[in-house]
Amino acid sequence: MELKQLYREIVNEHNLRPVHKGKLENPDLVMRGINPSCGDDITLQLKVENGVITDGKYVGSGCAISQASVDMMVDQIIGKSKEEAIKLAGTFMGMIKGEITDEESIESLDEAASLQDVRHMPARVKCAVLGWHTMQEMLEHPEKAIDKVED
C-alpha cells in the first residue's frame, strides 16, 4: 500500500471513529479552540495528576483534518508529562510548517505524522494545528483555561 493512501486511511479512521471525542468527567483543564477560517470549533478537556496527563477528551465539530488531528493528539499525550506534551506540540507544528523534517522527530508523533503533507495545503494548516495549539496554550497558560465544557 502506498504511504499516502495509508495516511489517508489513518486520518479517515480518526475522523469517522474518534476514540477521544466526548465529555471528560471532572477535567482539570478545559480550553476552547476556534479556527474561524474553516469553522473548526473544539473544546479540549484534560485530566492532569502530578504533572502527567492521565486522560483527555474533546467535543466540537469541524473538518476531517481538525477532528482527526485532535483525536490523534489526545492519543499521543495521555501518559505524557505536561513538558513532553508541549514538546510534541512544537514538533507537530514544526512538521506542519516544514521546519522539522528529520525522520526521528516526525516518527515521535506516531499516527499524527500522517498529517505531514498538510503543509502543502496552506488553507488546511490551521485545521491541523488547532488541537495542538489549544493543548499547548492550555498547558503553558493554565490560568486561561475555562471551568467546564459549555452545554
Q: What DSSP line would sit under 54-109, residue for residue?
A: EEEEEEEE--HHHHHHHHHHHHHHTTSBHHHHHHHHHHHHHHHTTS---HHHHHTT
- Average pLDDT on 16-24 reads 95
Tell me the mean pLDDT in the region 47-53: 97
Q: Please report whether residue 149 resides in a domain.
A: no
The pLDDT, as a whole number, for residue 151 is: 56
Assess if residue 150 is contained within a domain.
no
CATH number at residue 56: 3.90.1010.10
Rounded CA separation 89/131 (Å): 9
Predicted confidence (pLDDT) at residue 52 exceeds the cutoff of 80: yes
Residue numbers of the domain that contains 97: 3-144
In a domain, 151, yes or no: no
What's the whole-number average pLDDT of the chain?
92
pLDDT in tens, 120-151: 888 899 999 999 999 999 999 998 888 666 65
Tally the domains of the chain: 1
Highest mean predicted confidence (pLDDT) among 11-15, 52-56, 107-111: 52-56
More confident residue, 55 or 15: 55
Q: Which long-range contacts (CB under 8 A, 24 or more apart) does 84-89 make?
A: 85/53, 85/135, 85/136, 85/139, 86/136, 86/139, 86/140, 88/132, 89/132, 89/133, 89/135, 89/136
Among residues of the chain, what percentage have pLDDT more than 90? 75
Query: Helices then strands (H, E): number in the chain?
Result: 5, 3
Give domain status of residue 20, yes or no. Answer: yes
